[in-house]
């Protein structure tokens, strides 16, 4: 299923065709080289002063820790996310080892995740980020230090047909994608085509 939107002008297919599904193939497994490719893409993101504050924990569906992460998920995330092939848990180190604050660590980490997501899509994986999870339940167990704020659990999987989803999730899965207008985002300098 493609959910590529109408765009004001043509944009790169890797960007246009990315979307966040909830129906994943629960038999699909991820190769080590695909895991490393996603992490490597994130690694090369830009960051303030090249501080590279992003931190990741990768947990495959086959691992016992996967169930621990599922347990930490909020609400309906618990219903669909267990079919993902892996979770990439992402955190931002908001202070360095000397305790100096890194003011842009969330922003930098978002940039890294954006590249991870694009690389995943290039390898035919779909990514669905989740802010709905209890960080305290997994932070220590996954090995993040206490200078790191967990930001998201990212479910990565192969897309599967929407009909395995409950009625409510099926509706969301097949609905069109929406965005605010460019004219609402750009406060100055939007060209008229
Ligand atoms: C930081 C962040 C947190 C999110 N949290 C959740 C979540 O907890 N559960 C969920 O189903 N989707 C979650 N999403 C997915 C968004 O709802 C989704 O990206 C948005 O609706 C746009 O849809 P698209 O990615 O298909 O274009 C999250 C996305 C981001 C970036």
DSSP states of 11-77: --HHHHT----S-B-TT----HHHHHHHHHHHHT---GGG---EEEEEEETTSHHHHHHHHHB-TTH
Do 126 and 20 touch, CB atoms closer than 8 A?
yes
| pLDDT tens column, 121-148 | 999 999 999 999 999 999 999 999 999 9
pTM of the model: 0.97
- In tens, the pLDDT along 97-113 reads 999 999 999 999 999 99
Mean pLDDT of 52-66: 98
Q: State residue 15 phi and psi, 5-degree precision.
A: -85, -45
The C-alpha atoms of residue 151 and residue 135 are separated, in whole angstroms, by 8
Which CATH superfamily hosts domain 21-175?
A: NADH Oxidase (3.40.109.10)
CA–centroid distance, 76 to ligand 1, in Å, is 12
Going by CA atoms, what residue is nearest to atom 15 of ligand 1?
129
Domain residues of the chain, as ranges?
Answer: 21-175
Report pLDDT for 73: 98
Measured by CA distance, the residue closest to atom 21 of ligand 1 is 20
For residue 166, what pLDDT band results from cuts at 50, 70 and 90?
A: very high
Mutate to test the pocket of ligand 1, among 16, 127, 130 (most ligand atoms within 8 A of CB): 130
Whether 130 lines ligand 1, by a CB cut-off of 6 Å, is yes
Q: Is the separation of the CB atoms in 36 and 69 below 8 Å?
A: no
177 lines ligand 1 (CB under 6 A): yes
Query: For all residues of the chain together, what is the average pLDDT?
Result: 97
Atom of ligand 1 nearest to the CA of 151: 1
| pLDDT per position as a tens digit, 22-43 | 999 999 999 999 999 999 999 9
pLDDT recorded at residue 2: 85
**56-90 exposure pattern, b = at least 16 Cβ within 10 A, e = fewer:** bbbbbbeeeebeebbebbeeebeebbbbbbbbbbb
* Residue 188 pLDDT exceeds 90: yes
114 lines ligand 1 (CB under 6 A): no
Residue 78 pLDDT > 90, yes or no?
yes
Residue 89 structure tokens: 């848990």
């Amino acid at each position: 299923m493609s959910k590529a939107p109408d765009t004001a002008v043509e944009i790169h297919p890797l960007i246009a065709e990315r979307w966040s599904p909830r129906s994943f193939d629960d038999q699909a497994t991820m190769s080590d080289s695909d895991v490393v490719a996603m992490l490597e893409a994130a690694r090369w993101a830009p960051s303030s002063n090249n501080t590279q504050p992003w931190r990741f924990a990768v947990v495959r569906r086959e691992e016992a820790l996967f169930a621990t992460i599922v347990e930490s998920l909020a609400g309906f995330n618990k219903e669909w996310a267990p079919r993902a092939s892996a979770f990439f848990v992402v955190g931002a180190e908001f202070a360095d080892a000397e305790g100096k604050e890194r003011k842009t660590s969330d922003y930098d980490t978002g940039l890294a995740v954006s590249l991870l997501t694009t690389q995943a899509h290039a390898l035919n994986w779909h990514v669905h980020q989740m802010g709905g999870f209890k960080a305290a339940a997994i932070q220590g167990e996954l090995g993040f230090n206490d200078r790191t704020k967990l930001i998201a659990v990212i479910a990565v999987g192969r897309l599967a047909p929407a009909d395995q989803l409950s009625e409510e999730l099926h509706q969301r899965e097949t609905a069109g994608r929406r965005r605010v207008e460019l004219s609402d985002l750009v406060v100055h300098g939007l060209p008229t085509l």
